[in-house]
């Protein structure tokens, strides 16, 4: 089988499994919804909506922790026997790329409803909504691509660190992504013209390609252990 075909089959397999075990997806959605609702309650306790910078920061922090939660499930949940089986039927490059795509789709599925609920409850100070929505999509994909390999490493490192290890290893790698993404969404909030955001968007896309390429090269080594 060619590489794209293998990726396609692995991705379909993951999506089917996710659909059969809807509780996991529902749990993540509930997490996002719950956090948004708690933020809404905390802000309205004082009366009124959060100022735009706080609105922006809070949204990305919610999405960041949703990403950490989602990534922790992907590679971590598979038992060793299943890994051995994949090893016989697919090449490692296909496995990591399929996981990156799958994580990206999962995070998009979380970010979309999350953004909707967030704007419903906490108001919508965004002046350039198409750019903001596109940035959320790009940000979700970037978070997923940066976290997939790290989640694999954390899963192999065993139970000692547990969930915290993923956060410890993932956060430094995610800071560049978050810095760029928050800058673009600030531009969208302020309604700045597109050419201001063009540079950061291109940087983010380039960063995605670097991270994807490095994951592609390194995953076979992780896989062997």
Partner 1 sequence: MKWWKYLTIVLLLYTVVMGFLGHVPRLAILNETERNLYFHVPMWFGMTIILLASVINSIRYLRNPSARLDTLAHESAKTGILLGVLGLLTGSLWARYTWGTWWTTDVKLNGAAVTMLIYAAYLVLRGSVSDEQQRARLSAIYNIFAFSAAIPLLFIMPRLAEASLHPGMGGNPGFSKYDLDSGMRLVFYPAVIGWTLLGVWITEVACRFAFVKEKIYEKQEKQLA
Applying CB under 8 A, the residues found at the interface with partner 1 are: 146, 149-150, 153, 156-158, 160-161, 165, 168-169, 171-173, 175-176, 179, 199, 203, 206-207, 210-211, 214-215, 218, 221-222, 224-225
Question: Smallest distance from the beta carbon of 207 to partner 1, in angstroms?
Answer: 6
37 and 67 Cβ atoms separated by less than 8 Å? no
Q: How far apart are the first and last CA of the chain?
A: 24
Helices (H) and strands (E) in the chain, counts: 8, 0
User: Between residues 34 and 220, which has the closer beta carbon with respect to partner 1?
Assistant: 220
Question: Smallest distance from the beta carbon of 143 to partner 1, in angstroms?
Answer: 13
Question: Smallest distance from the beta carbon of 70 to partner 1, in angstroms?
Answer: 19
177 and 146 Cβ atoms separated by less than 8 Å? yes
CA dihedral (172, 178, 183, 186) positive or negative: negative
User: Between residues 4 and 199, which has the closer beta carbon with respect to partner 1?
Assistant: 199
Separation CA 10–CA 128 (nearest Å): 37
Question: Smallest distance from the beta carbon of 5 to partner 1, in angstroms?
Answer: 27
User: Between residues 88 and 225, which has the closer beta carbon with respect to partner 1?
Assistant: 225
Question: Smallest distance from the beta carbon of 132 to partner 1, in angstroms?
Answer: 21
User: Between residues 25 and 192, which has the closer beta carbon with respect to partner 1?
Assistant: 192
Nearest to 135 by CA among 88, 203, 81: 203
- HSE-up of residue 106 (Cα within 13 Å, Cβ side): 34
Residue 21 backbone zone (phi > 0: left; psi -120 to 50: alpha; other: beta): beta
């Amino acid at each position: 089988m060619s590489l794209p075909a293998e990726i396609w089959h692995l991705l379909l397999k993951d999506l089917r499994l996710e659909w059969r075990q809807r509780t996991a997806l529902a749990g993540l959605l509930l997490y996002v919804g719950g956090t948004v609702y708690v933020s809404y309650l905390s802000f309205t306790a004082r009366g009124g909506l959060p100022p735009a910078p706080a609105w922006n920061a809070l949204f990305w922090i919610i999405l960041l922790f949703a990403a950490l939660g989602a990534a922790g499930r992907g590679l971590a949940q598979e038992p060793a026997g299943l890994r051995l089986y994949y090893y016989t039927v697919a090449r490692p490059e296909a496995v990591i790329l399929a996981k990156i795509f799958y994580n990206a789709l999962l995070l998009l599925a979380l970010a979309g409803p999350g953004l909707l609920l967030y704007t419903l409850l906490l108001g919508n100070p965004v002046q350039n909504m198409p750019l903001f929505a596109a940035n959320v999509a790009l940000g979700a994909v970037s978070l997923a691509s940066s976290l997939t390999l790290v989640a694999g490493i954390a899963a192999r490192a065993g139970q000692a660190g547990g969930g915290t290890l993923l956060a410890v290893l993932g956060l430094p790698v995610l800071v560049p992504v978050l810095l760029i993404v928050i800058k673009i969404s600030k531009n969208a909030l302020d309604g700045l013209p597109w050419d201001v955001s063009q540079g950061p968007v291109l940087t983010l896309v380039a960063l995605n390609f670097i991270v994807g390429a490095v994951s592609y090269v390194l995953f076979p080594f992780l896989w062997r252990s």
